[in-house]
A and B are shown apart, each in its own frame.
Chain A
Amino acid sequence: MAKIVGGVSVTHVPYIGRAIAGNLQQDEYWKPFFDGFPPVHAWLDRVKPDVAVVVYNDHGLNFFLDKMPTFSIGAAEEYRNADEGWGIPTVAPFKGDVDLSWHLVEALVEAEFDLTTCQEMLVDHAFTLPIEMLWPKRTTGTIRTVPICQNTVQFPLPSTKRCLAFGRAIGKAIESWDSDARVVVLGTGGLSHQLDGKRAGFINKKFDLEFMDKLVSDPEWITQYSVPDIVELTGTQGVELLNWVTCRGALGDKVRTIHTNYHIPISNTAAGLLAMETV
């Protein structure tokens, strides 16, 4: 059966795409952010995942408000990035893993998570940038991928409790996949930030740090908060931390922290990185 080696949750600000394209990783502004990655690269080199299951949210590239699934999954041979309208470079396609995708569809619907299946799916910066950051010398063959998209755009959003349960179901499903593949789960977005309204620029360092700590030791902790509570505590886009919650759920009861990094600001965002190994 397939093995989950661990998970990485990381921020996905579009602006990072320009830093990567411009090779600005060691500039004063970017260094505290990009210097968080080498220990995670070393861990990935050691655990050698074959497939990344990427839990993220689309920002109006693949999904418009005409159709907005709460949970959706890609089941394609390849995932393409495309112009998102805000001037970040479009990157090369990502290889899919159709066998794992359909296994997940079967297992998750059986577990009563009735997600939307997408045999064509454009992936935006929330999917592409974390992969570019974690596998900086990526070639198309480096790692196979399965995108899992959660709605964090149009309310109502799935609850913290639901995302944790969804993640747990994803973890069980991966572990029941008849394959010798090694799987890493990614959760992208956050941490606290608010782009819109008179409260734009809101950041909550205290909450973010407690969230990162509790996500490792006590993932149930976050379920005391409703989605509106999360908006109040972390900002309108801070709610993307739901992707971290789902990722954590997939890793089982106990995890070991490999590395954490937290830096304010990248664009308007508190940038978090948390790598966890399953134990």
Chain B
Amino acid sequence: MASKPKRVIPGTTIFDGDMARKGYALNKMCFSFNAEENRQEFLKDPAAYCDKFSLNEEQKKAVLSLQVLDMLAAGGNAYFIAKLGGIYKLDMQDVGAQQTGMTKEEFKAKLVEAGKN
């Protein structure tokens, strides 16, 4: 019997068991980025490092192109993906701007606006 239907929240992925299973290799690779030596190894040859963690093609493509929405779709978890972002010195406004199709300045302005209402 199927589980109960999933809650749909627009623009939002709930990181549940299905996503945790799907994204395990990708998230495990990102977890390894807690160590500086691993970050350096990744930077030397990102594709080889993805292969070392057995990322599937979808995950590898998302990582190599640094597309956050694609990483999420491939099972990436925001907290782990942020460690990959850290390697490229991307902050949360860079990541937010990329996902929403805004410039960084527009994204920051949107945050400031949220405080005014």
Interface positions of A (Cβ within 8 A of B): 15, 59-61, 64-66, 82-87, 153-156, 194-203, 205-206, 228, 231-232, 235-237, 263-265, 267-268, 270
B28 near A197 with CB under 8 A, answer: no
Within 8 A of A (CB), among B99-117: 99-100, 107-108, 110-112, 114-115, 117
Q: Which of B28, B39, B107, B112 contacts A85 (CB 8 A)?
A: B39
Q: Which of A86, A154, A197 contacts B12 (CB 8 A)?
A: A197
Closest to A229 in B: B7
Residues of B close to A60: CB separation below 8 A: 27, 30-31, 34, 77, 79-80, 83
> Interface digits, B32-62 against A, CB 8 Å rule (1 contact, 0 not)?
0111100100000000000000000000000
Q: Which of A65, A86, A156, A265 contacts B27 (CB 8 A)?
A: A65
Residues of A close to B27: CB separation below 8 A: 60, 64-65
B86 near A87 with CB under 8 A, answer: yes
Known pairs A83-B35, A83-B36, A195-B96; A228 contacts B83 (CB<8 A): no
Interface positions of B (Cβ within 8 A of A): 7, 9-17, 20, 24, 27-28, 30-31, 33-36, 39, 68-69, 72, 77-83, 85-87, 89, 91-93, 95-96, 99-100, 107-108, 110-112, 114-115, 117
- Looking at chain A's contact residues, the main secondary structure is loop
A61 near B100 with CB under 8 A, answer: no
Q: Which of A64, A196, A235, A236 contacts B68 (CB 8 A)?
A: A196
18 sample A-B contacts, Cβ–Cβ < 8 Å, listed by A number: A60-B77, A64-B27, A83-B34, A87-B86, A154-B15, A155-B17, A195-B96, A196-B99, A197-B12, A197-B69, A197-B99, A198-B69, A199-B9, A205-B114, A205-B117, A232-B9, A236-B13, A265-B114
Residues of B close to A236: CB separation below 8 A: 12-15, 78
Known pairs A85-B34, A236-B78; A156 contacts B16 (CB<8 A): yes
Residues of A close to B111: CB separation below 8 A: 201, 203, 264-265, 268
B78 near A196 with CB under 8 A, answer: yes
A195 near B9 with CB under 8 A, answer: no
Complex CA gap A65/B22 in Å reads 12
A198 near B99 with CB under 8 A, answer: yes
Beyond A60-B34, A61-B34, A65-B31, 13 additional contacts (C-beta under 8 Å) are A59-B79, A59-B82, A82-B34, A84-B83, A86-B82, A155-B14, A156-B16, A198-B99, A199-B11, A205-B114, A232-B9, A236-B14, A268-B111
